[in-house]
Amino acid sequence: MAKRKIKSKKKNEEVLVDLVEVVEETGEVLEKYQKWILGGVTALVLLIGGYLAWKNFIVKPKEQEAIQQMWKAEAQFLKDSFDLAITNPGGGYPGFYDIAKQYNGTSAENAANLYAAISHMKLGQFDAALSYLKDFKAKGEIMPIIKYGLMGDAYSEKNDMDQATKYYKKAIKAGDNEAVTPIYMQRLGMLYESRGDYAKALEMYKTLKEKYPETLPAREIDKYILRAEKMAMEK
């Protein structure tokens, strides 16, 4: 695996929407949610990815060795020391880049690709994040949703909204999971809003509310519906 070219981007956007600002400029919708986009599913990714990695690692001696080699990088990751986690976690242990390279073809490589992708996302290095996400082999019910959703997030951060739309749609089609599918439905709706396509945004919000009524995004979706309806009328 070749080293990725890295581009940094300073992040200073707000996370929460003020409930009374229902009629805010829709061009600011995604901007206000950038930090939320980056952090919203990290814990879930790690929980699921960690479980799958553990389950697969015990199968082969090489992968058992990889667990022992990767713990230091994981520790740096959990401390938000993402740069160190990727390249040099300390103590002579390899970072995620070297793990992916040294344990090619194993579950260790796959887990390292996901860790590295999230680390680059947190560092604002979205091209590198996308490169690792493309190498990550997502299996099961949830991981394909998360992979495509994270790719949508990365393209959104790069202001490539055509690609962001494409991958949010792929995430939604990749699986029907109450924990993560509604997240990407909401983000796709927000993206439509940011592009002035209020009809599609409204359709997405209403579908989310109908299909996943007990989820957190659905509980908050009425204010999005109200905003999209108002903006559609004023357009």
pLDDT value of position 234: 82
- 2 in any annotated domain: no
Is the pLDDT assigned to residue 235 strictly greater than 80? no
Examine the domain organization and report whether 85 and 100 are in the same domain: yes
Q: What is the DSSP letter of 200?
A: H
Examine the domain organization and report whether 96 and 184 are in the same domain: no
pTM (predicted TM-score): 0.76
Q: CA–CA distance from 57 to each of 18, 111, 190 (Å)?
A: 45, 10, 38
State the helix-helix crossing angle for 61-78 and 42-57, rounded to 10 degrees: 160
The mean per-residue pLDDT over the stretch 205-233 comes to 93
What is the span of the domain harbouring residue 107? 58-137
Of 191 and 21, the structure prediction assigns the larger pLDDT to 191
Strand partners, 90: 93
What are the tokens at 220?
Answer: 């908050």
- 150 in any annotated domain: yes
Is the pLDDT assigned to residue 197 strictly greater than 90? yes
Q: Which of 229, 192, 187, 226 is nearest to 208 (CA)?
A: 187
Is the pLDDT assigned to residue 81 strictly greater than 90? yes
Tally of domains within the chain: 2
Examine the domain organization and report whether 88 and 131 are in the same domain: yes
Quick: pLDDT tens for 54-75.
555 544 677 778 878 898 999 9
CATH number for the domain that contains residue 152: 1.25.40.10
Q: CA–CA distance from 168 to each of 32, 48, 161, 211, 216 (Å)?
A: 18, 20, 10, 17, 18
- 47 in any annotated domain: no
Q: Which of 137, 172, 191 is the last residue of a domain?
A: 137
- 1 in any annotated domain: no
pLDDT value of position 44: 54
- 172 in any annotated domain: yes
pLDDT value of position 58: 46
Q: Which of 187, 171, 198, 175 is nearest to 221 (CA)?
A: 187
Quick: pLDDT tens for 116-164.
999 999 999 999 999 999 999 998 899 999 999 999 999 999 999 999 9
Average pLDDT of the residues of the chain: 81
- 50 in any annotated domain: no
Q: Which of 89, 122, 137 is the last residue of a domain?
A: 137
